[in-house]
Copies of this chain bind each other. A is one copy, B any other.
């Protein structure tokens, strides 16, 4: 076991895949000379050169469209959005070109691209820089959507994403970049579409993705002291959703709390609950609960920001409610 930050894991995944396949390239704002706005591409320009690590002008619509076209023409671009907030400029190309063209062309035009970057809230960057796009992207057939939590997730899933022949949305988290995790030292490629049980427990199933897995685990620690054993599921992939793992867990715990950093309305929690109702309604001994961001644009003030984002104590409270304790 070695310790590694999520940032390093992402970097290594890209470097390894670029070594393996020379069709893989990295394109985005400040990815080359600056080494990434968040230093995720540290060293890649030096190793792979300016033909494969490409700084773009500030033109998300254009460069994402260009990268998508390049993928259709046989390359395997990794397109970094400095943050996913800026991907809204490129939304049409992501949805109408990347996600739909394989189908519209009767299976001819492939688009093996990874669209990656930090998603959701960072620290105090306010409403325009803090949105979680998981539910938007996961809504759309033709895309795969991944949201890693640990360094293992980050590395194994990013490698899988690069190798996948489909467009993959890869939602990172700026706050997790600096967090260290134990990782196995081999060159693991994880399966897209499989959730991970990060902690087992018999009393309640707590489902999270990305940074909310940390919140869920914190909550599980607190709950354990009260004698409540929470099972914590890290979704890892959001589309396709590994509903089997979730229902399997609920079949044992009979209770569900969903924790997401995005807004609740038509969010991932809504989908998980609806899918659980469909496939595992009879397992539920209590109404499933959601812990989400407050239904507001994210505020800047420290106290308001803290109040807006999901916290472990809210998860604890929600668990107590569904467990009737």
Contacts and interface: CB of A to CB of B under 8 A. Distances in A.
A9 interface: no
A139 B135 CA distance: 8
Contacts of A286: 281
Interface stretch (A19-27, A84-92, A110-118): A84-92
- What is the copy number of this chain in the assembly? 2
A302 to B, nearest CB: 16
Contacts of A239: 265
A156 B281 CA distance: 39
A278 B273 CA distance: 10
> Which of A61, A139, A274, A296 counts the most chain B CB atoms within 10 A?
A274
A125 to B, nearest CB: 12
A290 B128 CA distance: 33
A141 interface: yes
Interface stretch (A94-102, A200-208, A222-230): A94-102
Contacts of A295: 141
A106 to B, nearest CB: 9
Contact of A96 (B128, B241, B275): B128
Contacts of A34: none
B287 A278 contact: yes
Nearest to A141: B295
Given A89-B91, A139-B266, 4 more contacts: A89-B92, A103-B127, A136-B266, A141-B297
21 contacts: A61-B89, A95-B131, A100-B127, A100-B128, A100-B297, A104-B127, A135-B135, A135-B266, A136-B139, A139-B262, A140-B263, A141-B297, A241-B265, A266-B268, A266-B271, A270-B270, A270-B273, A270-B274, A274-B274, A278-B287, A278-B290
